[in-house]
Amino acid sequence: MKPSRLVRSRLAVSRGEVPAAYQHLERFQALAEAYGDRAAGTSGYEAAAQYVGQQLAGAGYQVRRQYFTFKHRGKWLETFNVLAETDAGSADSVIMLGAHLDGVPGCPAINDNGSGSAALIEAAKAISRLEGIGNTVRFAWWGAEEYKKEYGSRHYVRDLLEHDRRALEAITAYLNFDMIASPNPVIGVYDAHEATPKHAVPDGSAELMDVFTDYFDSHGQPWIPTDWDEDSDQVSFVKAGVAVGGLYTGDDEKKSPRQARLFGGTAKRPCDPNYHRPGDDLHNVDLDALGLMTGAITHAATRLAQDHGVLTQARRR
């Protein structure tokens, strides 16, 4: 990989060529200001879910909510996931893409994870315009990820395990997007060639990684493999043996000198110094990273929706 900065020039942003996903971040920021935050179980979360639902309905999707309760500090809380899927495509081959919609209390939560949620809206809109897709594409905006047990995605997978194993087996791949516009970003792709400390990498994950890395390589964009985050929504799918992939631009870990040479930015400084802080707002995201990652996510969704062969051998239970 030839060392360079992000392919998307910052000059393009200054000329007003902001990523389409940015409008959704503006809305998430406005909601956080109006309601205080978008934490699970709050009015802010409800408003954010309504906004996502409106965007999806406008693209022709039927939107549903999956409610669940979870216990936190001795109290039972209720929240929900937001789900939508294509009408077309094989029901026996489902591609899932997900991002958590909730944020930590008292935080605008724009990078974590308004960025992933916004990119997912744009990917869903792009998929709605396709004709003749071969695989069903299902989108999920998860609730209560910030409670450290990935309650929304965990509830979704457990519900299928208990009540509809065939539907779970039909999920050929799950792609996760959590923090993709960090202000001092790396371009990270979930590493499907290294086992996690707790779990083996499911079969088919390497093929998903290749979908992203081939995209970046074709655009001359450097990338790095990144360790799988054990605290995000792909974990439940990994445990269930579903092939998993994803993208990531970094949280409070410090950027290395090598990473600074590859991607620009500042070495020995956090990728996102505002991680889980009130400063995680609209002013502290990298629009180049947001645009690049949104393009990669849309590419992956489009290819997997249309391609019967990428994951033919992905899963063997």
Which CATH number is 127's domain given? Answer: 3.40.630.10
pLDDT at residue 312, rounded to an integer: 57
- Within a domain: 312: no
- Within a domain: 201: yes
CA gap 85, 52 in Å, rounded: 13
pLDDT confidence tier of residue 310, bands split at 50, 70 and 90: low
- Within a domain: 296: yes
26 is an active site residue = no
Please pick, among 85, 145, 150, 207, the residue that the annotation labels catalytic.
Answer: 145
**CA-wise closest residue to 122 among 63, 187, 52:** 52
Q: Please state the rounded mean pLDDT for residues 11-35.
A: 81
- Within a domain: 35: yes
Sheet order of strands, 188-190 included? 63-72, 75-85, 135-142, 90-100, 171-177, 243-248, 188-190, 224-226
> Each residue of 255-276: pLDDT tens digit?
999 999 999 999 999 999 999 9
Percent of the chain at pLDDT above 90? 81
How many domains does the chain contain in total?
1
pTM of the complete model:
0.93
Please measure the distance between the N-terminal and C-terminal CA atoms of the chain and give it in whole angstroms: 36
- Contacts of 16-19 with C-beta under 8 Å, sequence gap 24+, read 18/287, 18/291, 19/287, 19/290, 19/291, 19/294
Boundaries of domain holding 165: 10-306
- Within a domain: 316: no
- Within a domain: 188: yes
- Within a domain: 100: yes
- Within a domain: 1: no
